[in-house]
Chain A
Amino acid sequence: MKTTYILLLCFLFTCLLQGQERFLTKQGYTSFFSSSPVEDIKADNNQVLSIIDTSTGAIAISILMKSFLFEKSLMQEHFNENYVESDTYPKATFKGKIDEINKLGNSEETITIKGDLTIHGVTRSIKTQAKITKSQDNISLKGSFPVNVSDYNIKIPAVVINNIAKTIEVTFELDHKPYKN
């Protein structure tokens, strides 16, 4: 009789835990920043989709290229039409893993995220540090990493070579909430 109770309790617990395995955000923030002697270029995207599975530490992020908004419409046009060719490659994705996600406490900690970043149809594995705060009803990830434009087969015309940095700083802020089915 006792064992049945224990089994039932275990079952209940796993059910409860499973309900909070997945954390999601549909309005994550990503920006990139290019600094060159001629001009600084910045673009913001507030529509990032990110899902974390806390049982495995897997993280999947999808970004719409056209959701990057620039200060100047001409920059946005060049970005979409000439550089990232967003009609052909509408999304950038990241599939990776957060190490030891279940060992985290409630305070802010620095963790390593490894995974594959796909931009402009080119996939590269990257590794970056991020600040993570994990609680019962929230997982927040913050960080930034450099991206080499040439790594992703993005060609910058010679005329504007001095306007655009060879390495772009990508910043992210993702505030995940438990996913209710």
Chain B
Amino acid sequence: MSKKIKNIILVTILGITTIIIVMNVVYNQSHVNVSEVSPDITLLSQDLLNDFENNELEANSKYLDKIIEVNGIISNISTNKNKGIITLSDKDAMGGVICHLSSEEHTKIMSLKKGQNIKIKGLCTGYLMDVILVKCIIIN
């Protein structure tokens, strides 16, 4: 009889511990690591911008929360709070694709020049005047 009670207690404790561990793992789930994940979509920065300019609703459902690799020409390089920001756009275009680099990529922006062609991978969060990619990684 007492053995049975002991068993029940043991199983309950084990059960509770497992639940706590699982909950913790789920709760502390890490963010997507852009550098380790291959892109969902690869395209030219101008095509990405055109898609948003033509039909924002459709583009939202196509690109939001996706990891996108864009190829384009650097029109501006700046930093904000120690994070690099690279704008890709064609000469005459109003808008562009603004890539907010992840903090590990900061040292790389020193070697970049305006007018240069670049490949960048990032997470698309939407379109304001420009398409915005965050957590970007420079590919080359």
Binds A, one of B11-19, B43-51, B107-115, B122-130: B122-130
Q: Are B27 and A72 within 8 A (Cβ)?
A: yes
Knowing A26-B98, A67-B126 touch, does A46 contact B81 (C-beta < 8 A)? yes
What 0/1 readout, one digit per residue, does chain B (80-104) give for beta carbons within 8 Å of chain A?
1101010000000000001010000
Q: Are A73 and B30 within 8 A (Cβ)?
A: yes
CB contact between A66 and one of B83, B126, B130 (< 8 Å): that residue: B126
Cα separation A105 to B134 with both chains bound (whole Å): 36
Cα separation A22 to B130 with both chains bound (whole Å): 18
Q: Are A64 and B130 within 8 A (Cβ)?
A: no
Cα separation A67 to B28 with both chains bound (whole Å): 20
- B5: interface (CB < 8 Å): no
Tell me the count of chain A residues lying within 8 A, CB to CB, of chain B.
19
Interface of B is mostly: mixed
Knowing A47-B132, A66-B125 touch, does A74 contact B81 (C-beta < 8 A)? no
Q: Are B80 and A46 within 8 A (Cβ)?
A: yes
- B60: interface (CB < 8 Å): yes
With CB as the reference atom, state the residue of chain B lying closest to A44: B81
CB contact between A26 and one of B27, B81, B130 (< 8 Å): that residue: B130
Q: Are B64 and A26 within 8 A (Cβ)?
A: no
A82 to chain B, nearest CB (A): 15
CB contacts (< 8 Å) of A69 on chain B: these are: 134
Knowing A47-B125, A64-B126 touch, does A27 contact B29 (C-beta < 8 A)? no
A-side interface residues toward B, CB under 8 Å? 26-27, 29, 46-47, 49, 62, 64-67, 69, 72-74, 76, 87, 90-91
Pairs of residues from A and B, 5 with the lowest C-beta to C-beta distance, nearest first: A64-B126, A66-B125, A49-B128, A67-B125, A73-B31
